[in-house]
Amino acid sequence: MKTVSFAALAVVVGLWGCSSTPSSPDSSAANPAEPGKSSSSASTGAATKGGAQTGTAVPPMQAGGSPRPDLKRSVYYEYDKYDVKAEYRALLESHARWLKANPQARLTVEGNCDEQGSREYNLALGQRRAESVTKMLVLMGARPDQIEAVSFGEEKPRAGGHDDKSWSENRRSDFAQR
């Protein structure tokens, strides 16, 4: 167990030390529920850099538990990958802080894939994506019983096209309050 915890901690520390150019399909937008539309940093109270939230004062949910429409609520992945990019660290930290501050809150991390690959493979990849986000949230201080990782595979596409742009929008993990 110590080896797994140390390895997970090493991954998180490695991600903090990495810097990369955002390459998400929505790198100019701050609202993942509607890719292609952007929102200003003034509406979130935090500065943005390439569409990734960089501020620390914005909770993922409003008081009373309702979702904030102005907060980025998805993590995007490269083709056939499930590792969380460094550009999503601030987003995950925000969700972890909110979960720590709201112990009664529950969050579902929904892993999604594009249509490439078999149905079974995509369900497994979606689960790995959801679990990688869940593990990072726990390492950042959220309790494991607050988070459920589920996979929808290719069943809940955000974009309906059959091209690279659509596929890149469908390779994601979404946050949903339960």
Say whether pTM exceeds 0.75.
no
**Residue ranges per domain, the chain?**
2-177
Question: CATH classification of 2-177, choosing from 2.60.40.10, 3.30.1330.60, 3.90.550.10, 1.10.150.120?
Answer: 3.30.1330.60
Tens digits of pLDDT across the chain (178 residues): 444 444 444 444 444 444 333 344 443 333 333 333 333 333 333 333 333 333 333 445 554 554 443 456 899 999 999 999 999 999 999 999 999 999 999 999 999 999 999 999 999 999 999 999 999 999 999 999 999 999 999 999 999 999 999 999 999 999 998 8
Own/partner contacts of 56-65, CB < 8 Å, gap of 24 or more, are: 56/90, 56/93, 56/94, 56/97, 58/94, 59/94, 59/97, 59/98, 59/101, 60/94, 60/95, 60/98, 60/175, 61/98, 61/102, 61/105, 61/177, 65/102, 65/105, 65/177
